[in-house]
């Protein structure tokens, strides 16, 4: 079986090094053009070296469009950085209890990440053609989205899920930006007009509900009120996704209210509130405004939100039906169905970022903030603020990762190793072996996973055998 093969032949010393490695945080300037990234990058040594290599070296198998990729989208950077982030997700999963680590979904996700780490570390990947590299990244993007969806079904700890999504969405953005720059599809990090993206998000949200409910239902309007024409450096699809999710929540609450109480009058509290306000809100209004340091969005609706929309949940369509149930049918603790997932999960990348909590994680990734206030009888207001500074580094759960190894080792009775104040290479190796033992089929024989001969297996042999 593939999972057992991957576990038995993985180069443990390399994995332990990744387990203990620190991530390379990037900013929007690192994902923009090489000139802008070089101008704004003053603290990230790894990316500086990458930029110098890109400008000085142009391999024969890389065409002109590939040589102009930003440093954070270069193949060599992705092949070295993505395995570190994958292992960080495994470190967060290692904080689960032993029983949770034995669940089929968690085991499948863990083995899928181990499989992808082997793929990225293979020496031949960086020397492949640009087209083959893009194909591989597309498959990794789809599998990453599938793993995030599976974890939404498996995890009940919202804080842990938010931390995993923070790393997972960062991985998705890195993969997406390489594909966007290579394909020139218009989603590259660039100077965007927030009003234009807001209008597109509103239209897409209303179209989604119109397609789901049919022509017999009247979809409420969302009135766009731009107070200022402004621009900022951002990822277009990322901003669109946040505004789309907030618009969907406002529309869902409005339509649900109309269906449940078509003839009910406004409450006494709301009527009194309208008497003291200078203007009465009509329907749903989205305002866009800007300042010298940030761009803001305020979406107001006269209907309170559904409480279920603010809770962690699985991806659902406008009717409330789960959209990714097929993924659970492909989940097995004995096999990774990579071929079936790649053929059937073209929409998984979209579904993985759906929902209120995903929108909050996306908004805060580069220093922004998304919040909401909903009061029965008064309505709801969304507030989104995005920083204009493109050099702000991405958000990353470093503090949570710093304590993750202690929780795993305490779970498995290794108090001496857990007492270590820092994650050394030796502690990382112990934690890695403990985690692999916890997700294995035979956790009663830990000697199998501490065999030093496993370290002598070469990476090429490991991937070839897998």
pLDDT at residue number 49: 61
Instruction: Give the C-alpha separation, 147 to 196, whole Å.
Output: 32
Mean pLDDT, to the nearest integer, of 185-202?
Answer: 95
pLDDT in tens, 67-106: 678 989 999 999 999 999 999 999 999 999 888 999 999 9
Could you tell me the pLDDT band of residue 219, with boundaries at 50, 70 and 90? very high
Higher-confidence position of 230 and 172: 172
Q: Which stretch of 160-169, 175-184, 269-278 has the lowest confidence by average pLDDT?
A: 269-278
Mean pLDDT, to the nearest integer, of 269-296?
Answer: 76
Q: Which stretch of 123-132, 238-247, 368-377 has the lowest confidence by average pLDDT?
A: 123-132
pLDDT at residue number 126: 74
pLDDT at residue number 164: 96
Residues in a beta bridge with 316? 322
CA angle 81, 84, 89 (to 5 degrees): 130
Higher-confidence position of 62 and 334: 334
Contacts of 445-454 with CB under 8 Å at 24 or more apart are: 449/7, 454/8, 454/9, 454/10, 454/11, 454/12
Higher-confidence position of 127 and 39: 127
Mean pLDDT, to the nearest integer, of 378-385?
Answer: 95
Could you tell me the pLDDT band of residue 429, with boundaries at 50, 70 and 90? confident
The mean of the pLDDT values for the chain is 81
Cα maximum dimension of the chain = 78
pLDDT in tens, 284-324: 999 999 989 999 999 999 999 999 899 888 898 888 888 88
- Reference 282, options 295, 301, 260, 307; nearest CA is 301
| Residue 441 pLDDT greater than 70, yes or no | no
pLDDT at residue number 172: 96
pTM comes to: 0.83
Q: Which stretch of 84-98, 262-276, 365-379 has the lowest confidence by average pLDDT?
A: 262-276
pLDDT at residue number 209: 94
Instruction: Give the C-alpha separation, 78 to 80, whole Å.
Output: 5
Contact 117, 18 (CB under 8 A): yes
| Residue 58 pLDDT greater than 50, yes or no | no
């Amino acid at each position: 079986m593939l999972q057992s093969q991957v576990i038995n032949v993985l180069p443990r010393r390399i994995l332990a090094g990744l387990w203990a490695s620190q991530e390379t945080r990037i900013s929007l300037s690192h994902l923009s053009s090489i000139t802008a990234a070089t101008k704004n990058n003053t603290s990230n040594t790894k990316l500086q070296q990458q930029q110098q290599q890109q400008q000085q070296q142009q391999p024969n198998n890389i065409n002109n469009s590939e040589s102009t990729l930003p440093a954070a989208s270069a193949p060599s950077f992705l092949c070295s950085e993505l395995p570190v982030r994958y292992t960080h997700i495994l470190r967060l999963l290692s904080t689960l209890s032993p029983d949770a680590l034995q669940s089929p979904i968690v085991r499948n996700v863990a083995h899928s990440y181990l499989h992808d780490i082997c793929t990225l570390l293979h020496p031949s990947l960086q020397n492949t053609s640009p087209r083959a590299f893009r194909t591989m990244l597309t498959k990794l993007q789809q599998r990453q989205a599938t793993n995030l969806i599976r974890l939404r079904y498996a995890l009940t700890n919202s804080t842990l899920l938010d931390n995993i999504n923070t790393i997972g969405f960062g991985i998705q953005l890195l993969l997406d930006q390489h594909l966007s720059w290579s394909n020139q599809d218009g989603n590259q990090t660039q100077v965007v007009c927030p009003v234009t993206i807001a209008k597109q998000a509103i239209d897409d949200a209303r179209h989604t509900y119109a397609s789901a409910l049919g022509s017999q239902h009247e979809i409420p309007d969302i009135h766009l009120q731009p107070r200022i024409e402004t621009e900022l450096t951002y990822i277009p699809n990322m901003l669109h996704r946040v505004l789309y999710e907030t618009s969907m929540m406002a529309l869902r609450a409005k339509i649900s209210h109309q269906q449940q109480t078509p003839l009910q009058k406004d409450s006494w509290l709301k009527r009194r509130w309208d008497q003291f306000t200078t203007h009465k809100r009509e329907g749903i209004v989205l305002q866009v405004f800007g300042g010298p340091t940030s761009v803001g969005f305020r979406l107001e609706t006269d209907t309170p939100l559904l409480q279920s929309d603010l809770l962690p949940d699985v991806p659902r369509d406008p009717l409330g039906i789960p959209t990714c149930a097929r993924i659970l049918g492909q989940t097995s603790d004995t096999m990774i169905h990579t071929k079936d997932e790649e053929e059937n999960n073209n929409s998984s990348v979209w579904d993985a970022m759906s929902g209120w909590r995903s929108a909050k994680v996306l908004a805060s990734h580069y220093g922004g903030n998304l919040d909401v206030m909903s009061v029965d009888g008064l309505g709801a207001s969304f507030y989104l603020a995005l920083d204009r500074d493109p050099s702000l580094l991405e958000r990353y759960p470093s503090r949570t990762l710093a304590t993750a190894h202690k929780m795993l080792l305490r779970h498995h009775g290794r108090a001496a190793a857990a007492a270590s104040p820092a994650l050394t290479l030796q502690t990382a190796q112990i934690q890695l072996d403990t985690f692999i033992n916890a997700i294995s089929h035979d956790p009663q024989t830990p000697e199998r996973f501490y065999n030093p001969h496993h370290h002598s297996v070469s990476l090429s042999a490991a991937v070839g055998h897998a």
